[in-house]
């Protein structure tokens, strides 16, 4: 496991801000606390099994390149919009891009 104080120091972020990040990652079931002599946090899965999309969803409920792509928005012009399929396709490209990148890829600085 890795200690919170070490993460804060190594990443140069405050403990208060890190608390928010850790809570989001724990809620998304991406990390867990380790108790005991080697306390701290560890991933719940291998880094090769956690995608950038998983991490994004820990902080945001969806990816919406423009407002009308959000599941929360019901656009009144959706049926007659000429660009709807363009934006929907672009939105899916972004989702697929995030899904294709694993935490392991990011740590190893994979070229995308």
Residues 34-55: tens digit of each pLDDT: 887 777 899 999 999 999 999 9
Give the C-alpha separation, 27 to 55, whole Å: 11
**Burial per residue of 47-72, b for 16 or more beta-carbon CB atoms within 10 angstroms, e otherwise:** eeebbbbbbbbbeeeebbbeebbeee
Q: Between vectors from CA 5 to CA 3 and to CA 10, what angle results, nearest 5°? A: 95
Per-residue pLDDT tens over the stretch 2-41: 888 899 999 999 999 999 999 999 999 999 998 877 778 9
Which pTM was predicted? 0.85
Q: What is the mean pLDDT of the chain?
A: 92
Instruction: Pinpoint the alpha helices (H) of 12-102.
Output: 15-27, 52-59, 84-100
Per-residue pLDDT tens over the stretch 81-109: 899 899 999 999 999 999 999 999 999 99
Give the C-alpha separation, 70 to 64, whole Å: 5
């Amino acid at each position: 496991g890795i200690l919170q104080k070490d993460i804060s120091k190594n990443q140069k972020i405050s403990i208060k801000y890190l608390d928010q990040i850790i809570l989001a990652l724990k809620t998304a079931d991406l990390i867990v606390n380790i108790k005991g002599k080697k306390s701290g946090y560890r991933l719940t899965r291998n880094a090769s099994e956690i995608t950038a999309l998983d991490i994004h969803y820990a902080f945001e409920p969806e990816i919406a390149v423009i407002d009308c792509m959000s599941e929360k928005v019901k656009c009144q012009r959706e049926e007659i919009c000429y660009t709807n399929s363009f934006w929907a396709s672009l939105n899916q490209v972004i989702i697929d891009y995030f899904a294709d990148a694993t935490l392991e890829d990011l740590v190893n600085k994979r070229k995308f």
